[in-house]
Structure 1
Amino acid sequence: MNPSDSLHRFYSGFVDKYDLFASWEERKRREGRFFRQILQSNGVESVIDCFCGTGFHVAMLSEMGYHVDGIDISPHMIRKAKENLKDMGLDDRVRVGDVKELVAGEKYDCALSMGNSLPHEFGDENVLKALEGMYGALKYGGIVIIHMENFDRLYEDKERFIPSVYRRTGDGTEAFIFAIDYYEDRVVFNILSLIERGGKPGFEVDVVEYNPINVESLKRLLKEAGFSGLALYEDFMMRPLGRDGTYDLIVVARKRQVSDKRKQLYFLEDAKG
């Protein structure tokens, strides 16, 4: 099975568990301050979420007052996003689309790749095409924000089992555990889900493969795509990469200003990695 078929198969089975795995309220508490600071300090008004999943960032950033559109290659995720966003009147803001095939159209101040989405692309050629798609969707001087696993750290530790979520709700229990297989050219996340409802437990395993993009490769490909002024963080508290060695990697970079290539970038230069 090729990576594209595997990806569609994974999300067709995991889509209805996705928002349990990463609840929106928890994500707002974790990410809200980061986005307010980054977007406000860079004069952002419009955003395209290039891997929008079930619509979380479209909703959160729209609530903050930004114009947000979302695309995702998975029709299953877009179906769920439209369900989630319908009551907010935002369901027409998301559509099925591949960032690698973005064509000239509306330009945005910010492009997002959140939640370990970019590593769904296998091979430098495809990663570069995805970055070039985001670059092309930006206005000059616009920024890209990429959030993914810090694969350098994951491969250094090679932890086999990582507890991710355990919570009790009014009608049951939700638990998710990662069992990770490490290979030279891919990393396999086996997601064990235990969801109890009304005293009846259900147990499932979903499997997804990722391209273990290391930090140096990502920096090189971003620069090759045309981005500059990279700032690297290890969490949404904006601590510089490498301070505590978390499993998160967040990169902020800018599309070059053509009107004045010598213009100094104005965003958080002191936080460069």
Structure 2
Amino acid sequence: MHWAASSLVAEVYDRGHPPGFSYGDIEYYTRALRDVTGPVLDVACGTGRILVPLLEAGIAADGLDLSPEMLAICERHCRARGLRPRLHRGDMAGFRLDERYEAVIIPAGSIKGLTGRAAVLRALRAMGGVLRPGGRLVADVAPPRLVVGSKPLRSWADGEHLWTVQTVHAEYDAAANHVTEYLRYEKWHRGRATATELHTFGVQFWSVREFHGLLTEAGFSDITVVGDYHEDREPGTHDDDWTFHAVWPGSQPERIGD
């Protein structure tokens, strides 16, 4: 009952979010990284939705994800295009790598999957730990949304196969500003379900001020934020995405409250 990126989840995700599928974020991240001369790390890279286009744009990028199933699909996409990034398996809430990067990105609001301040602080410090002095973090944060009940069924067909996913229920914890979603994943062949899984997925929301404070506490500086992938737009109430930019000074702060 707990969310995990199984083979079925990875298949469904890749059907709905193939490499190059963009919410405007691929174009934004490509612009944001165009002056980066060193390597870039895509945290929670999934099956390569953003990583592959960045590589094709000439950006030296690696990927990190917790799911071996997601990484296996990402590797297939890369190999099919003649791309050879380093793909690391690791938990964003506490990974370590020997490589040092000029930029770390965490697009698509993936950090919302971490619940609570302690987990997010561990993640931000882990990202800082793989940045070069003066390196940049670019992170999407989902604006708070009150979401309850079910959502429309989404489906993707390929020949005689059909993949579906639906949020069948969602519960909102106002005190924690946290949503728990129940997602049903299914694979069908000629009208018969061949695989069915039910997962729970937690979504943690932060205000602009709260996430700015988390970045500061984690040791980042020079923090800015824009709304909906517009470089000159301040974050607003009706935005779908907020993107934070921050600089890692290179010194590890005292860890408080872990």
TM-score range (shorter-chain normalised) is 0.7 to 0.9
Q: Which residue of 1 aligns with 2:180?
A: 188
> What are the within-5 Å matches in structure 2 for residues 167-186 of structure 1?
176-178=165-167, 179-183=169-173, 184-185=175-176, 186=178
Q: Which residue of 2 aligns with 1:122?
A: 115
Which amino acid is 1:63 matched to? E
| CA positional deviation for 1:139 | 1.5
Identical positions, percent: 23
CA distance in 1, matches of 2:85, 2:17: 23
5+ long unaligned stretches in structure 1: 259-273
| CA positional deviation for 1:255 | 1.6
Q: Which residue of 2 aligns with 1:31?
A: 25
Between the two proteins, the alignment pairs up a number of residues equal to 246
Q: Which residue of 1 aligns with 2:10?
A: 15
Give the TM-score of the pair, scaled to structure 2: 0.78
For the Cα contact (< 8 Å) 1:191–1:207, is it kept in 2?
yes
| CA positional deviation for 1:53 | 1.1
| CA positional deviation for 1:59 | 1.0
For the Cα contact (< 8 Å) 1:83–1:91, is it kept in 2?
no
Q: Which residue of 1 aligns with 2:248?
A: 255
Structure 1 window deviating more from structure 2 (205-214 vs 233-242): it is 205-214
Which amino acid is 2:203 matched to? Y
CA distance in 2, matches of 1:231, 1:200: 50
> What are the within-5 Å matches in structure 2 for residues 104-183 of structure 1?
105-150=98-143, 152=144, 154-155=145-146, 158=147, 160-163=149-152, 176-178=165-167, 179-183=169-173
Q: Which residue of 1 aligns with 2:75?
A: 82
CA distance in 1, matches of 2:188, 2:134: 48
Q: Which residue of 2 aligns with 1:262?
A: none
- C-alpha distance 71-10 of structure 1, shift in aligned 2 (>3 A): closer
- C-alpha distance 255-177 of structure 1, shift in aligned 2 (>3 A): same
Per-residue Cα deviation, 1:20-39 (whole angstroms, up to 9, x for no partner): 22233332x72232123211
For the Cα contact (< 8 Å) 1:234–1:249, is it kept in 2?
yes
Name whichever structure is richer in helix by fraction: 1
CA distance in 2, matches of 1:55, 1:92: 11
CA distance in 2, matches of 1:194, 1:13: 8
Per-residue Cα deviation, 1:128-169 (whole angstroms, up to 9, x for no partner): 11101111111122211112321x2x03xx454455857787
For the Cα contact (< 8 Å) 2:15–2:156, is it kept in 1?
no
> What are the within-5 Å matches in structure 2 for residues 188-267 of structure 1?
188-191=180-183, 206-238=199-231, 239-242=233-236, 245-256=238-249
CA distance in 2, matches of 1:101, 1:159: 31
Per-residue Cα deviation, 1:53-84 (whole angstroms, up to 9, x for no partner): 11222211111111111111222222222222
Q: Which residue of 1 aligns with 2:41?
A: 48
Per-residue Cα deviation, 1:173-222 (whole angstroms, up to 9, x for no partner): 77655453212433122345677776768886543122333433211110
Secondary structure (helix, strand or coil) at the match of 2:202 reads strand
5+ long unaligned stretches in structure 2: 252-258
- C-alpha distance 220-12 of structure 1, shift in aligned 2 (>3 A): farther
